[in-house]
Amino acid sequence: MAAVGTWGFSQPAVERIRTLITAGQHATDAVENALAEVEDDPETGRHIVGRGGFPNSRGVLECDAAIMEGTAGRFGAVAALRGVGAPVRVARRVMDRSPHSLLVGEGATAFAMEQGFTIEPNDNMLSIHSAKGYQEFLEQKTDVRGHDTLGLIALDCMGNITVGVSTSGAPFKSPGRVGDSPLPGSGLYAEHKVGAAAATGDGDKIMLHCPSFHAVQLMKQGLSPKEACHNVLSDIIKRIDPDRLFEMGLIALNVKGEVGAASSIEFPYTFWKQGKDLVETSIQHPHSTFN
C-alpha cells in the first residue's frame, strides 16, 4: 500500500488515502474521496483546485478532473465543468456510467444533472479570495502565481492502482480552455501491474509531451519511478529550446510501492508507504533533473 500527491497542500489528501486504504477501501474510492474533500473546500481553491479556484476571463469557474484505474479501459473525465464543487465525483460517474470517456462544458453539466448532482450558481463556486483576484485582474490585469492540479495516486492492499487529478485551470483563462489534467497520458496514466503517474504545471505545454504515459511505459520496462520521471523530463529538455523550458512537476508510483518525482521547478510532493505511520513531504529541486 502506498500513496503520493502533488504539492505540499496534498498532505491531508494523502493522509486521507492512507486511512482509507489501510481500512481496506479500494484505491479508486480512496482517490475519489480524498480529491473531493480538497476540491469542495474553498480554502484550497487558492491552489487552483475546485471550489474557490480562480475563474476564467469572463468570471466563470470552470473545472477539469479525471480518474483512471490501472485496469484497461477504466477512465473518466470532465472538462470546463461549471457549478459542481467536487468535479472528480462527476468524472467517476463518467467512468462508471457513461459510454463516453470525456465530457466537456454543457455536456458535462447535463450529465452531472442527470446523475443527481446539484448545479450551483457561479457565485457559490467563488471564494472571497478568488473573487478579489478576478476583480484585480479586470482592473489591473494582475496575474496569479500558484500551484495547479492536485494529483493523487493510490495503491491499495489488493494491488489496485488508481490516479486522479483535479484543477480549476489557468487563472483567467479563455472560456473553454482545457489543459493537460483531464487528458489520459498527459495529466495522468495508470497501468495494472506497473504503476501510475500524474503531472502538474503548464498544461498547455505538458499536453504536447504525454509525460504520464511515458513515465508508466518506462516503469513497465523496469525503471524505478524516480528514474522514469527523470528520464521523461530529460527527454523533454532535449527536444525543446532550453530557454522555453516550462513549469512541470511529475510524480509516479509503481506497484512495489516505490515513489519518484522530477520537475523543472522547485516541487514539493507528499507520500506515504506501507509500514510508515506518517505522510512525508519531499522537495524535488529542478537542478536534479539534469543528474
Residues in the annotated binding site for substrate: 177-180, 200-203
Which pLDDT value is given to residue 143?
76
Judge contact between 30 and 4, C-beta under 8 A.
no
Which pLDDT value is given to residue 261?
98
At 209-236, the pLDDT tens digits run: 999 999 999 999 999 999 999 999 999 9
DSSP secondary structure letters along 211-230: HHHHHHHHHHTT--HHHHHH
Judge contact between 94 and 76, C-beta under 8 A.
yes
Query: What pTM, to 2 d.p., does this model score?
Result: 0.96
Which pLDDT value is given to residue 113?
98
Q: How many CB atoms lie within 10 A of CB 250?
A: 32
Extract the residue ranges of the chain whose pLDDT is less than 50.
288-291
Which pLDDT value is given to residue 146?
65
Which pLDDT value is given to residue 288?
43
Judge contact between 261 and 252, C-beta under 8 A.
yes
End-to-end CA distance of the chain: give it in Å, rounded: 29
* Active-site residue, selected from the candidate residues 6, 28, 149, 289: 149
Question: Which cell is 49 given?
Answer: 483546485
From residue 16, how far is each of 30, 157, 266 by CA, in Å? 8, 15, 25
- Per the DSSP assignment, residues forming a β-bridge with 253 are 196, 259
Residue span of the structural domain in which 283 resides: 2-290
Instruction: List the CATH number of the domain containing 167.
Output: 3.60.20.30
C-alpha span between 76 and 73 (Å, rounded)? 9
From residue 167, how far is each of 18, 179, 258 by CA, in Å? 22, 9, 25
Q: Which residue has the cell 498532505?
A: 11
Question: Which cell is 190 given?
Answer: 495508470
At 250-264, the pLDDT tens digits run: 999 999 999 999 999
Residues in the annotated binding site: 177-180, 200-203
149 in catalytic set:
yes
Domain tally, the chain: 1
